[in-house]
Structure 1
């Protein structure tokens, strides 16, 4: 029997797995793809986030302005009731009724306003409800710990009762008398000389500090602008001009002291 000569065949390495170099290249490519995708997502989020905040701010502002427009449209415009509006210190025009908190050199900080309006409010549990409410707006300035409304826009809607109703001293009806609000002092609120409900159950409509007089006993204040941190208003006169003086008798060409004297 003849033997077949030995046949030599080329040796082949088994390729059952990736090499280390291939693994490193794959990981590098995958990391690059993840980085690119994450950058795209972050870029899109950066664009969308401010847009959402802008939409939220516009929505909140629209609700606040709509509420104010309704309150002002229904404002009780009479010469025998008090208003709490901003005006220069010492301003005594009989049509403004409330001096408001304003320095001689101009309004410092946030404005505050209170007036009567024919809109529903939070009424007492007993008594005959009238269509009139005491409405007020302020940016809460109470810095005491635990105050959830600090630096937020609040609205007061205190429903009033009919005149002549026997309701004790805590729930007042609308008061047809002017000159009850004194706002000439700077060290306390309400100022000495303030009379009627403005010195008691309505004091939160004109006070905005850390005192107990700034807290409404009936809980008629509610936060309507949690994102609002500035509140200013001006007066539109009949001649179309805009000013921070509430009456047309004010001469803008004269100094403050000249107008007051």
Structure 2
């Protein structure tokens, strides 16, 4: 058990993610109640640990043997899919670009729904499967480890990788988070226009690259971007 927990600790440090804490701060800035944010944090931490333990105890080491590339179509099917996705992303970017100056400010809500925030926490916990360090722990913990060791390892990984969120939850529980929330509000008011422009530019660039790659396949029979 000791070696597995040490591995979980190392993988947790390698996978530290501030996104969970940023979501919580944004919710507090939008008026979410402290206990709702604490519930969100519990869903993220416990949900991630439960998901990892279940995967380790059911599929375990077989995750490493899965050929994920079969999920991505190749040839004409891949080109058509890429063209459709690229066109949709381009359209999304164009809509954001056209509506950039036409949006009317909406009144800020004074509270964030508990169900909505808890749902966000559940989705965030499920997104752990996209983290390579989470998958690595899932494989390692599934190699003949007992249930207690598996659960503790995934719980340790969740707490360490979400250290920023854990620290914020402690501050919320102690009532010392107001200054951080006010700083976030000030920063967000200044950064939102620039971040929106960056997001729009990224959508346009990604969409253009996907469309160009698909068009190149139809013209030459090969992709510009490397296939998986």
- Fold-level similarity (TM above 0.5): no
Q: Comparing both structures, which one devotes a greater share of its residues to helix?
A: 2
- Select the structure of larger CA radius of gyration: 1
- Normalised TM-score (structure 1): 0.27
